[in-house]
């Protein structure tokens, strides 16, 4: 047998037809929304991509070109598009709207069925600040999912700056935050509880810092301290989008560049999120054109799994 | 929407079922049936403790109960850890034969020590963190045998009472972590079944 690397796959015609139907459906929504398709090279210079920061956005595959430059395989499309905006659209009037369907490359852990190469479809909305920009991205997201025929999905929406704001409000010292944020990012609430017990803060503050990141639900949770930004977003969402949203005050994503609203797409037919995104208002500035931006990416293969799962019931 | 809970067979089994009784889940059938694995009426699946994170991460179970030792060893699993359930107290320890510490001597004279364990990742991380070189030998059972036969100079293992260690002439040299049973959740179920999940967390916290 001639093997292919674990986490990669050949797509044969039966499956390809179904993937193509998904791509056609989302493309229709993106184009109708005024988004233009964009393609960038799978290979980029490491020094350029490194401006995007750490987390899961860090590339996993490196190689050398003929001159000894270090090249990487892109791990998402957001950073390459930030580069394109800063270089090819340096003087263009915002907002700029792009969509893509492209392969991204990730490192995998052995024996877990994780993809090394995954097909992503998504948008980037550049130069549309604040809640209005986020509301547009969420609207396009829901329209795209509706167009594929997915029925049971919900969109978790959180705020990447929320927990830091709470730590400020309750006067948690800087050096005590690192272990606390580590427990939160690794989603260990027993660990959060343990770290809070070590701090010399009053019981009400500790209770708030433990409870708030576990609060999730409909608009009724937006009265919580720290949820003001999300309440502002909610006011701008059309009803068809708002009814899909689960506000999640503890939502964190492991990409390094998010600054405000963050989102994840869930479907009861799949045990993991099938896509996500958020605001990244600082990323473009690192490439020399400071513009606020928001975007999302859907894992097309995950979306396909969720659709077939819903079909089976 | 009802929840499916992955319950660990083994030392945590009885105490876990007691907690589920307190939740109002009827565990009589689970208790009465040693071989059956899926109890659809009660919303319970019984699995090996080390398989609990696998089922929960994939969403095959919404919630699971397992030891912190399992979660530490499989720290890359994408699951929410919701609650320290406070039972199943154990210690993860470094133990060697009684008398002059053979692991310390190996480290001093040979530059590295051989450590047998069922928890290779916990052990490797611990020695890395404490700045010592160790050669990790993974075994699947009866770790205590390894230092007695010369397979290793020491072991990293979980101990509750310390009786097994003592019976094999081993003494605890260092404590790596204290472990208890934890409640974990699938990240998607944590959002889509939030009310049901929170109800379980509240009742277990109270009990």
* Closest chain B residue to the Cα of A254, Cα to Cα: B78
Separation of alpha carbons A88 and A284, rounded Å? 13
* Closest chain B residue to the Cα of A183, Cα to Cα: B81
Quick one: pLDDT at residue A174?
A: 87
**Mutation target vs A (from B88, B194, B200, B201; most A CBs, 10 A cutoff):** B194
Peptide bond preceding A309: is omega within 30 degrees of 0, i.e. cis? no
Chain B partners within 8 Å of A151 (Cβ): none
Tokens matching residue A124? 């980037």
Of A221, A160, A228, the C-alpha closest to B195 is: A221
For residue range A46-81, what is the model confidence (pLDDT) as tens digits?
999 988 876 656 788 999 999 999 999 999 999 999
β-strand partners of A277:
A263, A296
Of B201, B202, B206, B199, the C-alpha closest to B184 is: B201
Q: How far is B182 from chain A (nearest CA, A)?
A: 8
Q: Which residues of chain A, if any, have pLDDT below 50? A: none
Of B182, B187, B180, the C-alpha closest to B62 is: B187
Cα A244 to Cα A75, A221, A234, B196, distances in angstroms = 28, 15, 12, 19
Separation of alpha carbons A300 and A274, rounded Å? 8
Separation of alpha carbons B96 and B113, rounded Å? 11
**What does residue B135 show for φ and ψ, rounded to 5 degrees?**
-105, 115
Q: Which residues are within 8 A (CB) of B163 and not within 5 positions of it... i.e. 6 or more apart? A: none
Q: How far is A247 from chain B (nearest CA, A)?
A: 9
User: What was the ipTM of the complex prediction?
Assistant: 0.84
Chain A residues within 8 Å of chain B (Cβ atoms):
109, 154, 156, 186-191, 193-194, 214, 216-217, 246, 248, 264, 266-268, 270-273
Tokens 């939502």 map to which residue? A251
Give the length of chain A: 313
For residue range B25-52, what is the model confidence (pLDDT) as tens digits?
889 898 998 888 999 888 999 999 999 9
By the 10 Å C-beta count (0-12 exposed, 13-18 middle, 19+ buried), A93 is classed as exposed
Contact between residue A96 and residue A128 where contact means Cβ atoms under 8 Å apart: no
Question: What's this model's pTM, rounded to 2 decimal places?
Answer: 0.89
Q: What is the pLDDT along chain B (207 residues), one digit of tens a residue?
A: 589 999 999 999 999 999 999 888 889 898 998 888 999 888 999 999 999 999 999 999 999 999 999 999 999 899 999 999 999 999 999 999 999 999 999 999 999 999 999 999 999 999 999 999 999 999 999 999 999 999 999 999 999 999 999 999 999 999 999 999 999 999 999 999 999 999 999 999 875
């Amino acid at each position: 047998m001639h093997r292919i690397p674990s986490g990669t796959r050949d797509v044969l015609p039966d499956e390809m037809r179904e993937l193509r139907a998904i791509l056609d459906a989302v493309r229709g929504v993106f184009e109708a929304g005024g988004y233009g398709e964009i393609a960038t090279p799978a290979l980029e210079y490491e020094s350029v991509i490194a401006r995007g920061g750490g987390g899961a956005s860090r590339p996993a595959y490196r190689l050398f070109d003929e001159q000894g430059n270090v090249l990487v395989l892109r791990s998402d499309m957001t950073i390459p598009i930030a580069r394109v905006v800063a270089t090819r659209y340096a003087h263009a009037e915002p907002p700029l709207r792009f969509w893509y369907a492209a392969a991204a490359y990730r490192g995998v852990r052995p024996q877990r069925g994780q993809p090394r190469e995954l097909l992503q479809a998504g948008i980037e909305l550049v130069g549309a600040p604040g809640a209005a920009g986020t509301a547009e991205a969420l609207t396009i997201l829901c329209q795209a999912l509706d167009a594929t025929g997915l029925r049971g999905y919900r969109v978790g929406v959180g705020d990447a700056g929320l927990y830091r704001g709470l730590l400020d409000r309750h006067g948690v010292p800087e050096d005590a935050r690192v272990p606390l944020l580590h427990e939160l990012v690794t989603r260990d609430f027993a660990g959060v509880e343990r770290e809070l017990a070590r701090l010399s803060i009053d019981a009400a503050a500790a209770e708030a810092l433990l409870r708030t990141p576990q609060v999730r639900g409909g608009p009724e949770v937006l009265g919580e301290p720290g949820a003001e930004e999300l309440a502002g977003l909610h006011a701008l969402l059309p009803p068809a989008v708002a009814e899909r949203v689960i506000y999640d005050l503890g939502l964190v994503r492991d990409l390094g560049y998010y600054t405000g609203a963050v989102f994840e797409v869930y479907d009861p037919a799949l045990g993991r999120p099938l896509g996500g995104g958020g605001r990244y208002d600082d990323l473009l500035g690192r490439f020399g054109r400071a513009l606020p931006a928001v975007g999302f990416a859907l894992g097309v293969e995950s979306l396909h799994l969720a659709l077939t799962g819903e079909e089976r019931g | 929407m009802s929840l499916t809970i992955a319950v660990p067979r083994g030392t945590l089994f009885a105490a876990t079922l007691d907690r589920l009784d307190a939740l109002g889940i009827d565990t009589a059938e689970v208790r009465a049936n040693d071989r059956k694995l899926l109890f659809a009426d009660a919303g319970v699946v019984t699995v090996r403790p080390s398989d609990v994170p696998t089922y929960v991460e994939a969403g095959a179970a919404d919630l699971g109960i397992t030891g912190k030792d399992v979660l530490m060893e499989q720290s890359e699993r994408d699951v929410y850890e919701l609650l320290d359930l406070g039972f199943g107290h154990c210690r993860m320890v470094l133990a060697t034969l009684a008398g002059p510490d053979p692991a310390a001597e190996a480290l001093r004279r040979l530059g590295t020590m051989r450590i047998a364990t069922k928890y290779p990742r916990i052990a490797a991380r611990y020695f890395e963190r404490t700045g010592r070189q160790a050669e990790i030998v993974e075994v699947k059972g009866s770790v205590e045998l390894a230092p007695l036969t010369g397979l290793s100079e020491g072991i990293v293992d979980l101990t509750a009472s310390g009786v097994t260690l003592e019976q094999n002439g081993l003494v605890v040299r260092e404590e790596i972590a204290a472990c208890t049973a934890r409640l974990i959740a699938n990240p998607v179920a944590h959002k889509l079944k939030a009310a049901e999940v929170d109800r379980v967390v509240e009742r277990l916290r109270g009990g």
